[in-house]
Copies of this chain bind each other. A is one copy, B any other.
Amino acid sequence: MTTSRRLRLGMVGGGQGAFIGGVHRIAARLDDKYELVAGALSSDPERARASAAELHIAPDRAYGSFEEMATAEAAREDGIDACAIVTPNHVHAAAAKAMLNAGIHVICDKPMTSTLEDALELVDTVKKSGLVFALTHNYTGYPMVRQARSMVEAGDLGAIRVIQVEYPQDWLTTKLEDTGQKQAEWRTDPTRSGLGGCIGDIGTHAYNLASFISGLDVHELCADLSTFVDGRKLDDNVHVMLRYDGGARGMLWASQVAPGNENALKIRIYGEKGGLFWEQEYPNHLSFAPFGKAPQTITRAGAGAGDIAAHGTRIPAGHPEGYLEGFANIYSDVAEVISARLENREPESMATHFPTVVDGAKGVKFITAAVESSNKGGVWVDATLDV
C-alpha cells in the first residue's frame, strides 16, 4: 500500500490549561497521519500565542479567532485539510460552520452543540458542504467496542432485549467548580455547557455507545436528573429508562458524584442468544456469554477478535492499548476517509464507522429530551429525531 501524505490539521481551542485539546493532538499524532500546523487555541490572544509556540506552530499560523483561521487557511496553498474543534460546547457550532464554509473538514468534540437548534442547523451545513464531519465520541474507537458492534450485527446475541449502560465518575463529589478548577467551571456552567451537566458531559457518551454497539435508536425515555451538590447549576447525577426501537429496554446511569468511580463507563447488552459486557477502564477485554455455554473473554488481538478489532490495533495481545489509542482510531479513520477523497479512491471500508453529525444531533436530542422529561417530574417523552 502507498502512504498518504500527512494531513494538515488546525485546532480551535485547546490552549494552555485545557484538557481535551491535548488528547486530540496526541490522537492525531499517534499514527503519524496529521501534522498540526495552525491554531486558534484560545480566545485570550496572549495565551493563544504562547500555546502555539509550545506546539511548534509557526507564529503566522497562530490565529486570534477561528473566523480568522478559517479565512486565512482557506486562502493558503498549504492550508489545513481538517480542523479539530475542542472548545467548550457553546462554541462548537459556530466554529464548525466557519470551517465547513471555508471547505475544511471538521473533527468536533462532544456534545456537538449546546442547543438542539444549533445541532439541526449543523446537520444541514454538513450535508450541504459535502465535507467530512466527525464527532469524537471517542469510546467508539476502542477495538473491543467495535468488536462488540460487529458481533451484534452478525447476530451473535440474537434480537436485543436489554441494554444497561452506565458512566459514573466521582470528580464532582464536592463543589470543585468553586475552587478555580477550569474543567469543573465550564462543565457546570449552563452558559458554556448548555442544558445538561452530567448528562451532556458523559451521559451522552453512554447514550451514543449503547446505540453504536446495538445499532438501535431510542424512541422514548423517562429521566430523573438530580443535582446533589448544593448550589451547583446543572445536574450531577442522571437516571434514565430507555425504550428502544424493536422492543429492547434500557437503563442509563451517569454520575459525577459516585466516589470510587474514576471514568467507569460500562455497557452490557443482552439478547435472545447471549450477552456482551465491556468496560472502558479495562478496554482490551470483551466478555461474551453465549447462552448455555461457558462465558468467554475476547481480547484485543487475541483469539476470537475479528478484523474490525485488528483494524484499530497497533500491538500484540496482552500489550494494553488505552484511551489515547482508542481516540487515535477515530482520528486515523477520519484521515483515511479524507485522504481517500484527496487521492480520488474509496476509503478502506473499516475506516468509515466514526460518529457523524447525525450522531451528534441525536446526542443533543437525548440531552434535550432527558432534561424535558425530568423537568416534568420524570415522564416518558419522545426521543426520536428525524435527520
Query: Are A274 and B259 in contact (CB-based, < 8 A)?
Result: yes
How many A residues are at the interface, by size bracket? 35 or more
Cα A226 to Cα B161 in complex, Å, equals 9
Q: Does A224 contact B (CB under 8 A)?
A: yes
Q: Which residues of B contact A259 (CB under 8 A)?
A: 270-271, 273-275, 289-291
- Minimum Cβ distance to chain B for residue A239 (Å): 5
Q: Which residues of B contact A277 (CB under 8 A)?
A: 260
Q: Which residues of B contact A166 (CB under 8 A)?
A: 164
Query: Are B173 and A272 in contact (CB-based, < 8 A)?
Result: yes
Query: Are B3 and A54 in contact (CB-based, < 8 A)?
Result: yes
Q: Does A317 contact B (CB under 8 A)?
A: yes
Query: Are A173 and B319 in contact (CB-based, < 8 A)?
Result: no
From the candidates B224, B271, B323, name the one contacting A315 in the complex (CB within 8 A): B323
25 contacts between A and B (CB under 8 A): A32-B56, A161-B226, A164-B253, A174-B291, A224-B243, A251-B253, A257-B270, A258-B275, A259-B273, A259-B289, A260-B270, A260-B277, A260-B288, A263-B316, A263-B317, A263-B318, A281-B320, A282-B282, A283-B320, A293-B304, A294-B303, A315-B324, A320-B320, A320-B322, A321-B323
Binding site for B on A (CB under 8 A): 3, 6, 19, 22-23, 25-26, 29-32, 53-56, 161-162, 164, 166, 169-171, 173-174, 222, 224, 226, 228, 237, 239, 241, 243, 249-251, 253, 255, 257-264, 268, 270-275, 277, 280-284, 287-299, 302-304, 314-325, 377-380
